[in-house]
Amino acid sequence: MTNIVIGSVPIHGHVTPLLAVAAGLVERGHRVRFMTGARFADAVARTGSDFIGLPTEADFDDRELNVGVNNERPAGIRGLRYDVREVFLKPARAQYDALRDLVARPTDAVIVDLTFAGAVMLTSESRSTRPPVIVAGVLPLTLSSAAVPPFGLGLEPLRNPVLNRTRTAALRILVERVIFGPVQREADAMFREVHDRPLRPFILNWLSTADAIAQLSVPAFEYPRPDAPVPLHFLGPLTSPSAIPTPAWWSDLSRPAPVVLVTQGTIANRDFTELVRPTVEALADQDILVVVTTGGPPVEGLGPLPDNVRAAEYLPYDKLFPLLDLMVTNGGYGAVHYADPSGPARRCRWR
């Protein structure tokens, strides 16, 4: 029997695909110890894995992530910097200490989501003293490349390869030394406390120190990285049966009217006027059943809803997507992968 450790930050969209990984490993006869936030204990147990709670310093409720400075999470690149510092870097030392304790017992491999930043202190140890570490890509790749602009800028590579490399090199200096310079210095200080040497990679590029990357997506979702320093495998989206209960209005989905899902995902869902409310109002007079998932916030935060709208905080996507005709989304990684035409939502179109 192989002993596997899985580590994930306690964010719904990160934990969910790793639950599918855990269930598959257990089904194949492996022992899995799954370390994540306390609110996911029951979900982990249902996979047959052993639940290991994150230390208090590394646990949080992802439904409250949208609260930042002055009760407002910063926008744009400042928001990304805030997330990296507050959500991923601050818990990293506690993550590492807990992970180190786990792998002190027989462990054949460690699988972590790519934002489990504490793993960089494990991957930086000698390979003879630690098990192999595999990064599960549950978000767009943050892996640095000379061929791809730095993560977070939303830029496409230039068609001219020479100009592209020149621009990418300049942008990496801007991102790593200026925009994220203060965060990188904090990461370096934390790393020195453990290993008494500088942190070698840029913090968003820590996965370059892993033994392999298993991206839970398809190659067409990423720009090619011919210079990837570690093996990079695209496994496609993973889904598993959901334990989320169906709401009382579920039988309404059997009506002959088209069904449209509207969602802003589980992170960018503080202001529903960005996508949900405009869509709901635009379809209010149509012979369409509109389904809204808030991704965590209370349904009451949506305000008054037209008669053709049904809403819930979460819904079992594995049951919902085969019933959909259209999804309106802000492009959340998990939701879009559920709408993969080859997956469980093969009837659903997405916009």
What does the pLDDT look like over 169-188, one tens digit per residue? Answer: 999 999 999 999 999 999 99
Q: What pLDDT does 132 receive?
A: 98
Q: What pLDDT does 72 receive?
A: 61
- Residues 6 or more apart whose Cβ sits within 8 Å of residue 242: 316, 317, 318, 319
Q: Is the domain of 137 the same as that of 11?
A: yes
Among residues 179, 202, 234, the one where a domain terminates is: 234
Q: What pLDDT does 68 receive?
A: 44
Dihedral sign for Cα atoms in the order 192, 199, 75, 305: negative
For residue 199, give its domain range.
Answer: 3-234
Nearest to 37 by CA among 106, 113, 105: 113
Looking up residue 305, the CATH number of its domain turns out to be 3.40.50.2000
Residue 239 covered by a domain: no
Q: Is the domain of 191 the same as that of 326?
A: no
Residue 342 covered by a domain: yes
Residue 245 covered by a domain: no
Number of domain units in the chain: 2
Residue 132 covered by a domain: yes
d(CA 22, CA 158): 39
Q: Is the domain of 264 the same as that of 158?
A: no
Phi first, then psi, for residue 62 (nearest 5°) are: -65, -15
Residue 242 covered by a domain: no
Q: Judging by beta carbons within 10 Å of its beta carbon (0-12, 13-18, 19+), is residue 276 exposed, middle or buried?
A: buried
d(CA 219, CA 163): 24
Among residues 209, 234, 259, the one where a domain terminates is: 234
Q: Judging by beta carbons within 10 Å of its beta carbon (0-12, 13-18, 19+), is residue 59 exposed, middle or buried?
A: middle
Among residues 207, 234, 261, the one where a domain terminates is: 234
Q: What pLDDT does 267 receive?
A: 78
Q: Is the domain of 21 the same as that of 144?
A: yes
Q: What pLDDT does 65 receive?
A: 66
Q: What pLDDT does 241 receive?
A: 77
Q: Is the domain of 267 the same as that of 196?
A: no
d(CA 33, CA 56): 18
Residue 134 covered by a domain: yes
List the pLDDT tens digit at each of the 351 positions of the chain: 899 999 999 998 899 999 999 999 999 999 999 999 999 999 999 999 999 999 999 999 887 765 444 456 677 788 888 889 988 999 999 999 999 999 999 999 999 999 999 999 999 999 999 999 999 999 999 999 999 999 989 899 999 999 999 999 999 999 999 999 999 999 999 999 999 999 999 999 999 999 999 999 999 999 999 999 999 999 988 877 778 899 999 999 988 899 999 999 887 788 899 999 999 999 999 999 999 999 888 999 999 999 999 999 999 988 998 899 999 998 888 888 877 655 444 444 444
Q: What pLDDT does 334 receive?
A: 81
Q: What pLDDT does 64 receive?
A: 75
d(CA 305, CA 289): 12
Q: Is the domain of 14 the same as that of 61?
A: yes
Q: Is the domain of 7 the same as that of 149?
A: yes
d(CA 282, CA 309): 12
Q: Is the domain of 173 the same as that of 271?
A: no
Q: Is the domain of 76 the same as that of 191?
A: yes
Q: Is the domain of 18 the same as that of 115?
A: yes
- Residues 6 or more apart whose Cβ sits within 8 Å of residue 136: 17, 18, 21, 111, 112, 113, 114, 214, 216
Q: What pLDDT does 335 receive?
A: 81
Report the relative pairing of strands 349-350 and 326-329 from DSSP bridges: parallel
Residue 153 covered by a domain: yes
Q: Is the domain of 208 the same as that of 283?
A: no
Tokens of 103: 């792998």
- Residues 6 or more apart whose Cβ sits within 8 Å of residue 308: 257, 283, 284, 286, 287, 288, 289, 290
Q: What pLDDT does 89 receive?
A: 95
Q: Is the domain of 53 the same as that of 94?
A: yes
d(CA 168, CA 317): 38
Residue 338 covered by a domain: yes
